Amino acid sequence: MAKVLMKGNEALGEAAIRAGCVHFFGYPITPQTEVPEYLVKRLPEVGGAFVQAESEVASINMVYGAAGVGIKCLTSSSSPGISLMAEGMSYLAACELPCVIINIMRAGPGLGGILPSQSDYNQATKGHGHGDYELIVLAPASVQEAVDLMTLAFDLAEQYRNPVMICADGMIGQMMEPVEFPGEGRGEPFKPNDWELTGAKGRARRVVNSLFLAPEELFAHNIHLKEKYDRIHRDEMRSDLYGADEPYDLLLVAFGTMARISKTAIDEVRRDGLRVAMFRPITLNPYPTPALRAAMDAMGPSGKVLTVEMNMGQMVHDVRFAAEGSRTVDFYGTAGGIVPSPDQVAAKIRALIG
C-alpha cells in the first residue's frame, strides 16, 4: 500500500482498525482529540461502534465491558484523562482483559498545559491504579512507528490478556508524516478463547471479576499475574540502538520524540568528531534494562551516559538502575511543554565530552 500523509492521532485511529479494533470509547481532551474525531467517521464504515463517554472514568469502564465480552477495543486520552482512567486500568489488569489505551502526553502536573511532554513516564511505567499490576507500555518515536506499534499492541494484549498502553508525546499525536498501513481493511478479531462473556449457551458460565476475599486466593492470583509479568519482561523487551556500530564515548538514552531530536543532535556533534551513540527504549515497560546495560558496558569505564527527556527527570532513574552505580548518569530535560532543540541537546553533549 502506498504511503499517505497523516496526522499522528488519525494514523493511530486507522492503525487500530487495521489491527482489528472497531470499537472505541473516549472523551475529548487536547492533544489527542483527533483520535476520536477520526474514528467517529471511520468506525461505522467498518461495522464498529463509537461512544463518546461522559468522562474518562466511564470510557475506561466501557473498555472493560467491551473487552470483557471479547471485543477488541481502544480508548485514548491525554495525561489528566489518563489519571482518571487509573482505577479502570487496575481492574482491567486484575481481570486480565486485553485492550489498548493511548496516552498522548501533555505537560503537567494538574491541568498543566496542552503542549507535548513526557512527564507521564513514571505514571505509565510505575503508577496509575492501585495494586500489584503492570501494563505493557510502548513508546513510538515517529508516526510510522506509532502505526506499527498499534498492531503489536493488540497482539501483545491478546497474547498476554493484559492492557497495553501506547505512550506517545503530543508531538507524535500532532505532527503529520507519510505512513504506510499494514493490511487493507479491518483486521482480525480476537481468536476464539475461554474467557469472554458471550452468554452461557452450551457451556459453563463465566465471571469477570477481581474480588478475592480469601487472602490465599488473592495471593495465588497475584502470583499468577507476576508469572505473566515475568514472561513479559523476559520475552517482550524492545529497544533500538543508533550509531553503536562504531566505538562511542557517550551513550545518550531517550525515547519517543526526544530520541528523534537527540538523533539530529548526535549527527551534528559527530561532524565535530564526538563519538556518541543512542539507546532508545521502545517498550517503556518492560524496560529493556539488560540491553541498556550492555550498551553502557560496550564503552570503557570512562564512557558517559546522558538521559534526555521532556520532563524533569523520570526515566533517568531506570537508566541509573541499569547502570547499578557503575558510572554516573547525567540528565538533560525541559518541561512545561517546551521541546528541547537539537542544538540544546548538542550543547549538553559537548559540555560532557566536548
Partner 1 sequence: MSRIEIDSIRCKGCGRCITACPKDLIEFSQEINDRGYTYVDFTGHQEDCSGCTLCAVVCPDQGIEVWNFKDKQTFVNTTGLTENMTHYCPGCTHGVVHRITAEVLEELGLLDRTVGVAPVGCSVLAYEYFNIDMFEAAHGRAPAVATGAKRARPNLIVFTYQGDGDLASIGGNEILHAANRGEKITVIFVNNAIYGMTGGQMAPTSMPNQKTTTSPMGRDVETTGYPMRVSELLASLKTPAFIARGSAHDGKHSLKLKKLIRQAFEYQRDNTCFSFVEVLSTCPTNWGLSPDEADKWLETTMMPYYPLGIFKQPDVASPA
- Rule CB under 8 A: choose which of 6, 11, 17, 58 binds partner 1: 58
Q: Verify binding: residue 188, partner 1, rule CB under 8 A.
A: no
Nearer to partner 1, 66 or 168 (CB): 66
What is the separation, in whole angstroms, between the first and last Cα of the chain?
A: 45
Nearer to partner 1, 176 or 220 (CB): 220
Q: Verify binding: residue 315, partner 1, rule CB under 8 A.
A: no
- Rule CB under 8 A: choose which of 11, 16, 29, 62 binds partner 1: 62
Contact window for partner 1 (CB under 8 A) among 32-40, 56-64, 77-85, 217-225: 56-64
- Rule CB under 8 A: choose which of 30, 40, 46, 57 binds partner 1: 57
For residue 167, what are the β-bridge partners? 103
Q: Show the site string, 240-279: x = touches partner 1 by CB under 8 A, - = not.
A: ----------------------------------------
Count Cβ atoms below 10 Å from residue 211 Cβ, excluding itself. 8
Do residues 21 and 67 make contact, with C-beta atoms less than 8 angstroms apart? no
Q: Show the site string, 166-185: x = touches partner 1 by CB under 8 A, - = not.
A: --------------------
Q: How far is the CB of 86 from partner 1 (least distance, A)?
A: 11
Nearer to partner 1, 209 or 264 (CB): 209
Q: How far is the CB of 54 from partner 1 (least distance, A)?
A: 4
Q: DSSP letter for 18, please.
A: H
Nearer to partner 1, 64 or 332 (CB): 64
Q: Verify binding: residue 17, partner 1, rule CB under 8 A.
A: no
Q: How far is CA 222 from CA 124, 132, 225, 229, in A?
A: 20, 7, 5, 10
Q: How far is the CB of 33 from partner 1 (least distance, A)?
A: 19
CA distance 328 to 336: 26
Cell of 38: 477520526
Number of residues that bind partner 1 (CB under 8 A): 38
Per DSSP, the residues of 19-80 read TT--EEEE---TTTTHHHHHHHHHGGGGT-EEEE-SSHHHHHHHHHHHHHTT--EEEEE-HH
Do residues 139 and 284 make contact, with C-beta atoms less than 8 angstroms apart? yes
Q: How far is the CB of 38 from partner 1 (least distance, A)?
A: 18
Q: Show the site string, 192-231: x = touches partner 1 by CB under 8 A, - = not.
A: -----xxxxxx--xxxxxxx--------------------
Please report, as residue ranges, which positions from 36 to 55 form the binding site for partner 1 (by CB under 8 A).
49, 51, 53-55
Please report, as residue ranges, which positions from 76 to 105 form the binding site for partner 1 (by CB under 8 A).
87-88, 91
Q: Verify binding: residue 12, partner 1, rule CB under 8 A.
A: no
CA distance 56 to 48: 20
CA distance 197 to 207: 7
Q: Verify binding: residue 154, partner 1, rule CB under 8 A.
A: no
Dihedrals φ, ψ of 256, to 5°?
Answer: 60, -145
Pairing of strands 176-179, 4-7: antiparallel
Q: How far is the CB of 70 from partner 1 (least distance, A)?
A: 8
Q: If residue 91 lies in a helix (H) or strand (E), which one and from where to where?
A: helix 79-94
Q: How far is the CB of 130 from partner 1 (least distance, A)?
A: 11
The residue type at 288: P
Residues with Cβ < 8 Å from 30, sequence gap 6 or more?
78, 106, 114
Instruction: Tell me the residue length of the chain.
Output: 354
Contact residues toward partner 1 (CB under 8 A) are 23, 25, 49, 51, 53-55, 57-59, 61-71, 73, 87-88, 91, 197-202, 205-211
